[in-house]
Amino acid sequence: MNVFSSDKLEQFLPKVKTILEENLFPLEQAYLHQSFSAVEPELNKVRGLIKEQDLWNPHLSEHHGGLGFNLVEFGQISELLGRSPYGHYCFNCNAPDIGNQELLLGYASEHIKSLFLEPLLKGDIRSCFAMTEPEFAGSNPVNMGTTAVKRGDHYIINGRKWFTTSADGASFAIVMANTNPGAENKYQRASMLVVPTTTKGFHLKRNISIMGEPNDTYFSHAELEFKDCKVPAKNLIGNEGDGFLLAQQRLGPGRIHHCMRWIGICERSFDLMCSRAATRDLGNGTMLGSKQTIQNWIAECRAEIDASRYMVLHTAQKIDEVGTKAARLEISTIKFYVANVLMKVLDRAIQVHGALGITDDTILSFYYRHERGARIYDGPDEVHKSTLARQILKNYGLNTNR
Amino acid sequence: MNVFSSDKLEQFLPKVKTILEENLFPLEQAYLHQSFSAVEPELNKVRGLIKEQDLWNPHLSEHHGGLGFNLVEFGQISELLGRSPYGHYCFNCNAPDIGNQELLLGYASEHIKSLFLEPLLKGDIRSCFAMTEPEFAGSNPVNMGTTAVKRGDHYIINGRKWFTTSADGASFAIVMANTNPGAENKYQRASMLVVPTTTKGFHLKRNISIMGEPNDTYFSHAELEFKDCKVPAKNLIGNEGDGFLLAQQRLGPGRIHHCMRWIGICERSFDLMCSRAATRDLGNGTMLGSKQTIQNWIAECRAEIDASRYMVLHTAQKIDEVGTKAARLEISTIKFYVANVLMKVLDRAIQVHGALGITDDTILSFYYRHERGARIYDGPDEVHKSTLARQILKNYGLNTNR
Amino acid sequence: MNVFSSDKLEQFLPKVKTILEENLFPLEQAYLHQSFSAVEPELNKVRGLIKEQDLWNPHLSEHHGGLGFNLVEFGQISELLGRSPYGHYCFNCNAPDIGNQELLLGYASEHIKSLFLEPLLKGDIRSCFAMTEPEFAGSNPVNMGTTAVKRGDHYIINGRKWFTTSADGASFAIVMANTNPGAENKYQRASMLVVPTTTKGFHLKRNISIMGEPNDTYFSHAELEFKDCKVPAKNLIGNEGDGFLLAQQRLGPGRIHHCMRWIGICERSFDLMCSRAATRDLGNGTMLGSKQTIQNWIAECRAEIDASRYMVLHTAQKIDEVGTKAARLEISTIKFYVANVLMKVLDRAIQVHGALGITDDTILSFYYRHERGARIYDGPDEVHKSTLARQILKNYGLNTNR
Amino acid sequence: MNVFSSDKLEQFLPKVKTILEENLFPLEQAYLHQSFSAVEPELNKVRGLIKEQDLWNPHLSEHHGGLGFNLVEFGQISELLGRSPYGHYCFNCNAPDIGNQELLLGYASEHIKSLFLEPLLKGDIRSCFAMTEPEFAGSNPVNMGTTAVKRGDHYIINGRKWFTTSADGASFAIVMANTNPGAENKYQRASMLVVPTTTKGFHLKRNISIMGEPNDTYFSHAELEFKDCKVPAKNLIGNEGDGFLLAQQRLGPGRIHHCMRWIGICERSFDLMCSRAATRDLGNGTMLGSKQTIQNWIAECRAEIDASRYMVLHTAQKIDEVGTKAARLEISTIKFYVANVLMKVLDRAIQVHGALGITDDTILSFYYRHERGARIYDGPDEVHKSTLARQILKNYGLNTNR
């Protein structure tokens, strides 16, 4: 009956669910109160288990040693993994590595692939992606100050990046920099380069403290500085000037991944909210869930989570069938719609928990802090709404600039 | 690519579209400023045309002389018809007649069918459905004061109904009345009876003025009084005590019809909103659509209309596959979700039109007034939300009464 | 304790309340189902009574035969009058006449005053104000197509206006027209002229049908056409080029009047909502008001109505003390804030009434239709918000054009 | 013109402002990245400075060595102090100490006052207030498990508390416990006792990690356990059974303090939002503040912050004039209204800052995390709304239990 299901998926999901329940949820209190690096050894044991069970790399084609799910199927896996903050990490399909894998698989030379992609697919190393800069509005990737100047068969990179997720401990970064800052076509100014983090001139200045927490390693967001950072010209991904195009390529499926992960967080929070509502005694045996306000919230959350899932999976299906570019408007739509549903569900789940909801005795406050960025990263709501509306208005004869 | 499409549907929809554009939209200014009965002759010409083109009764199975669409397909037809207030009327699939047809087809005796159903299917007569009562909260159909007392082979009906849509000029009413008001099981107290409107004791007291307009005939909502109104016992639909069950049967697909009609209204209003935004000059050549607020509204409406359609069609599919009862929660969900999207879209379309939006120079103000009831009839938002939430909470071990 | 009260006001308000309860509310069902002109004779009797009791013209200074209330006091009178749609009319302080009175009092020659103002103050005639034009965005009064060309000691007016409230049956219009359309300073292009409605070339083309209802006389909104309409040059109000300035003068207190009237409508609707909630039996003796959703609505409405009143009265006080211009931002703030509170209160009051709420058996549906314009006229929400924000941002060094 | 101002206040506020700008804001980055105890020495220097300038204890009457402001005046001071998270702390008018001071001043014996109140007023010690319990819904203070059993001239306390703010390092706690758990009148079951934190049986089990941060000393929220904790009977505040009444006494002004502090946070955030909007270049010289969405947010925030302040100050005035009990409904109203405005302002200020907004480079993310509790503590929104609505509905003849 579920048009988005498949036998293969039905067989895979229960295995993931078992890992979550038996191996990941039990670690939750540990990582709610400790840094990532403190919990990393335990998580790596789980990764080993997943490899043993041949569940590793569910996002890759069979050809690349993965499980050959299409985006509709992987979206549903991603939703399930989203129920734990480290679900994707354990299955090696976590941002930013998954996006980097896709880039390298699609556009890197064999040389680069063997050096950087292979250990990444095995989970032996981690990577990061350096695009956003503090001085430029991140919503517009053609505004960028970092440059990569070609000198002989090298590029010399200079500039400043921030919100470079997972840079701390990563083996390499994919860096977006202007190779041709004066190009008339502003979409052809930038290029992408693989930069090993051990390169001279690559400086991790700080793990940015976000919502009270700098955290570390995989779970960190760095500010980077490039000072005459020199990399071989063959570290280029695709051709010179492809940077913007590659960024767009990277973001399409990336937004499906995020949206489905957010839906997973919604379901997790919804489950906690309902459990609490059903069992919290207000005194004299009346349960919180008998209050109509709580019922309203549960009903509205249910409706909006379901609406989210339908929209995202139909979008994933369109990408599977006709590609990312054709689904551009749907991708903008789900980006802002689902991010806002996520905020609402989290807020209400917390309110239903009362004081408990703001403590770290449940995972809700973790999500509340860590997911506020969902309405900002990969394009804030406002930009996606304008993009969508301006495209619609073109059909009515109106061309507006942003 | 559209999982909800079919060849048959793709062939049918353009024909409907042509009728709307060539025959119905041109009548719009007429019925925005006149009573239904004044425009009725023109509408009946359109009905004739539709019959000639074999597009009549799209909701019926081929066996019953219809076109054999399933609910998923008919939902999409209904959306298209919803772009005109009289779309459903012209194709003979308008409420309340469509619900009455379904009831009689499913549960009436051959005698009743030949007397009442046949002319109804031909469009020779109209009917109405009398359930709601002014003294009882309509959200709870087990609360009812009207009685039908069996005397020999007749029932004697006494009571008061209101919001009996289309009673003015209808040939018969299906009346819900308590035949066994003392039954312990409150869901078995009521029955449904066919009552010709010419029956002695059947009084149409008034066409209720709604939002400033009593209107008439098909487009009216009556207050009725039954005073010793006597009908043959064989006018019973189903068995004695089936009233509540039949009402539930009637409401399931009815809510799909409403929701899809509302989505049609949303699309019509969205189209008007975008046209206006693209062409309204604010002075010095800047168009209204270049304003970010307007763009936000367009984007949010697009997202929520799409979400609505996906949810309703997936619900229709579930009904097609496993029946109304199994889809009960989904039906509650779409009822409140889509009704609220409708209000939001209408409100914004009006605001984009400025002063023009509140005039009757466009259809928006008509919909604004006539559709406010969507959040009330067939169960107000609040009841559907509670129903949904309480059912969900049962899975968490909480049983609450409303 | 109420810082906004005064002895004079405390003595006046109960008298108004008595008139409302004894003379106006009893007419309500009449004017909910009939045109204004049909009820006018009864309303005129009430006007007579008000004159007899020396309650007439409460907005005027004692010098002008009024009662000498300041704006803070009159605001509170206006709130009370707002509980009936014809409260202001009966006390001769209704729009558009009140604004016209203020204009003529402040800026007209004695000649014009004796001809037009005196009978207006007595309530012997009615007037209208013609500014908005269908082809130009009303939110920007410097955009206007109507011209008044000086020929000797006359002006010849040509152009089209709409939403000229109460034009049907009015004795004169105050017309805003460009006397110097090419003036470099766009705020000095327009002037205001008194135009008797019997003047040749003054055409009332139609009473615009709004929300299903053209209505008539005082309660109508006309589309006007001026074709070589010739009026004496001495009918000019103020000087040539003062039009924009005078319009601003007119709007400041006008918005206080509107806001306080809206708060009156809120209180009336709130009262109906609470009455209904307290007495509507859901079956088995449970009242609607015991439902938490209804309680939430009542609490939120109470908070927002109170917030509205405080903001408007503090603004009125500022106008009383330092004038309209100094209170410009506060005036923009209350305009959009209170209009939106009004919509919310009306919507919820209707929802609490269920099906009854959309009928004309209560006044709620009347307000729902007639007040949707509140978010549009005198500047739509969007314009007031931008005005306010841009002014605030100037303090931070940012100057933006709209 | 400001009806809430006074000469005394106008002289005091600029001095506070100077302290904030010169002494507190410079410490901000320190306490955003460090524990409270690490910054405490610096804060204590500021406290010394405030004492030197005779600005200490602005909330106290002159009789008690304070500055003699009424609640309307102190509310406005509190708003200003709210612009820094440690403003109240530095002036010795921070929760929970301020509430404890009020309790002891009003109801404690001279013995208790000299032992506990005097050093508290001097700022030599800190205190805490232990009421909420993890096992009981905090919204209803008559539900409590902790008991204080009288044995001779001592009470023996047993039970568990949490969210005991500032317990870490406090010298004493005021503990609410049932001295008469079986009392028929449930409002007379509890009493309040002063418990030195060095008492045997007083256990601080943990500083609860809230929103990712356990913090420490003043800025912590403890879970406490009382095991046969024995205190002298003369440590009772008021009489046995007064607990509930005293809690109500404490909460009235406490909510004014909170609301005004929240408004201070709103103004601080609003200021940051406007600064950012006015100076953030989107590329090509267009500033973020030129975007209409941002303008809408600024305008709406401005309106709602102003509405909040008016409502709170009018409520404070009512308390000053007729006491807390008479202002009970207004207190409920401002509690939920202002807490929600605070959330909205914070959320939008963050969104305007983009990625920067979720970092700890500004104070916004601190407030975002630390103030989510505002909708929960001192009674969640839902409880205050019901309380208000049920009280209103009593005037319409409806008595409902919660």
> pLDDT at position C137, please?
78
Q: What is the pLDDT of residues B183-217, one digit of tens each?
A: 999 999 999 999 999 999 999 999 999 999 989 99
Mutate to test the interface with A, among C286, C287, C293 (most CBs of A within 10 A): C293
- Token pair in block for residue C270: 């709130």
Residue of A nearest to D212 (CA): A360
Query: Is there a domain that residue B284 lies in?
Result: yes
Domain co-membership, A159 together with A218: yes
Could you tell me which residues come within 8 angstroms of residue B331 by beta carbon, excluding any fewer than 6 positions away?
Answer: B251, B252, B255, B256, B315, B319, B324
Contact at CB, D293 and B291, closer than 8 angstroms: no
Domain co-membership, A20 together with A48: yes
Band of pLDDT at residue C142, cut at 50, 70 and 90: confident
Query: Is there a domain that residue C399 lies in?
Result: no
Contact at CB, A365 and D210, closer than 8 angstroms: yes
Band of pLDDT at residue D49, cut at 50, 70 and 90: very high
Band of pLDDT at residue D252, cut at 50, 70 and 90: confident
Contact at CB, D389 and C287, closer than 8 angstroms: no
- Partners of D328 on chain C (C-beta within 8 Å) are none
**DSSP string for residues in A249-296:** HHHHHHHHHHHHHHHHHHHHHHHHHHHHHHH-B-STT-BGGGSHHHHH
Query: Is there a domain that residue A332 lies in?
Result: yes
Q: Above pLDDT 70, what percent of chain C?
A: 98
Domain co-membership, D157 together with D62: no
Band of pLDDT at residue A103, cut at 50, 70 and 90: very high
- Partners of A380 on chain D (C-beta within 8 Å) are 351, 354
Which subunits count as partners of chain A given 3+ CB pairs below 8 Å?
B, C, D
Q: What's the domain range around C76?
A: 7-94
Query: Is there a domain that residue C253 lies in?
Result: yes
pTM above 0.90, yes or no: yes
Dihedral sign, Cα of residue C95, residue C99, residue C101, residue C104:
negative
How many Å lie between the alpha carbon of D34 and the closest alpha carbon of chain A?
Answer: 10
> pLDDT at position B133, please?
93
Q: What is the pLDDT of residues B276-285, one digit of tens each?
A: 999 999 987 8
Contact at CB, B311 and A314, closer than 8 angstroms: no
What is the C-alpha separation between A320 and D131, in angstroms, rounded? 57
Q: How many CA atoms lie within 13 A of A141 on its CB side?
A: 25
Domain co-membership, D233 together with D250: no
- Closest C-alpha among D57, D68, D76 to residue D4: D76
Contact at CB, C317 and D1, closer than 8 angstroms: yes
Which whole number is the average pLDDT over D93-109?
95
Of B39, B72, B94, which marks where a domain is finished? B94
CB of A362 closer than 8 Å to CB of A272? yes
Could you tell me which residues come within 8 angstroms of residue C145 by beta carbon, excluding any fewer than 6 positions away?
Answer: C133, C135, C136, C159, C160, C178
Alpha helices by DSSP H, listed for B61-198, are 71-81, 87-90, 97-107, 110-112, 118-122
Q: What is the pLDDT of residues D272-328, one digit of tens each?
A: 999 999 999 988 789 999 999 999 999 999 999 999 999 999 999 999 999 988 999
Domain co-membership, C77 together with C12: yes
How many Å lie between the alpha carbon of B44 and the closest alpha carbon of chain A?
Answer: 34
Domain co-membership, A275 together with A333: yes
> pLDDT at position A138, please?
67
Band of pLDDT at residue D140, cut at 50, 70 and 90: low
- Partners of C300 on chain A (C-beta within 8 Å) are none
Query: Is there a domain that residue B263 lies in?
Result: yes
Of A178, A213, A237, which marks where a domain is finished? A237
Query: Is there a domain that residue D34 lies in?
Result: yes
Beta bridge partners of A172: A127, A196
Band of pLDDT at residue A295, cut at 50, 70 and 90: very high
> pLDDT at position A141, please?
65
Domain co-membership, A277 together with A321: yes
Band of pLDDT at residue A336, cut at 50, 70 and 90: very high
Cα torsion through A86, A92, A98, A101, rounded to 10: 160
What ipTM was predicted for this assembly? 0.96
Q: What are phi and psi of D324, to 5 degrees?
A: -60, -40
For residue D251, give the CATH number of its domain.
1.20.140.10
Range of weakest confidence among B135-149, C111-125, D77-91: B135-149
> pLDDT at position B1, please?
59
Of B218, B237, B256, which marks where a domain is finished? B237
Residue of A nearest to B288 (CA): A398
- Partners of D137 on chain A (C-beta within 8 Å) are 280-283, 288, 354
> pLDDT at position B267, please?
98
CB of A400 closer than 8 Å to CB of B289? yes
Number of Cβ within a 10 Å radius of residue B63: 8
Which subunits count as partners of chain B given 3+ CB pairs below 8 Å?
A, C, D
Domain co-membership, C142 together with C256: no
Q: How many domains does chain D have?
A: 3
- Partners of A310 on chain B (C-beta within 8 Å) are 307, 310-311, 314
Residue in the structure block whose two tokens are 């699309």: B267
* Range ranked top by mean pLDDT from A59-63, B166-170, C63-67: B166-170
- Closest C-alpha among B29, B37, B342, B339 to residue B166: B37
Q: What are phi and psi of A329, to 5 degrees?
A: -70, -40
Residue of D nearest to B291 (CA): D292
Range of weakest confidence among A133-147, C161-175, D313-327: A133-147
Which whole number is the average pLDDT over A36-50?
96
> pLDDT at position A139, please?
59
- Between residues C53 and D400, the one the model is more confident about: C53
> pLDDT at position B252, please?
78
- Token pair in block for residue A168: 């701390």
Query: Is there a domain that residue A312 lies in?
Result: yes
Q: Above pLDDT 90, what percent of chain A?
A: 89
> pLDDT at position D124, please?
97
- Partners of A388 on chain B (C-beta within 8 Å) are 298-299, 302-303
* Burial D215-224, CB ≥16 within 10 A → b, else e: bebbbbbbbb
- Token pair in block for residue C249: 């003068």
Query: Is there a domain that residue C111 lies in?
Result: no
Calculate the alpha carbon distances from D120 to D126, D127, D257 in Å.
6, 8, 19
Domain co-membership, A231 together with A272: no
Domain co-membership, C163 together with C24: no
Chain C residues touching chain A at CB-CB below 8 Å: 291-293, 296
Domain co-membership, B230 together with B154: yes
Q: What is the pLDDT of residues A266-277, one digit of tens each?
A: 999 999 999 999
How many Å lie between the alpha carbon of C389 and the closest alpha carbon of chain A?
Answer: 18
**DSSP string for residues in C346-365:** HHHHHHHHTHHHHBTTSSHH
Mutate to test the interface with B, among A291, A330, A345, A398 (most CBs of B within 10 A): A398
> pLDDT at position C16, please?
97
- Partners of B291 on chain D (C-beta within 8 Å) are 292
Number of Cβ within a 10 Å radius of residue C51: 16
For residue B52, give the CATH number of its domain.
1.10.540.10
For residue D156, give the CATH number of its domain.
2.40.110.10
Domain co-membership, C228 together with C338: no
Q: What is the pLDDT of residues B212-256, one digit of tens each?
A: 998 999 999 999 999 999 999 999 999 999 999 999 888 878 889
Number of Cβ within a 10 Å radius of residue A30: 12
- Partners of C273 on chain D (C-beta within 8 Å) are none
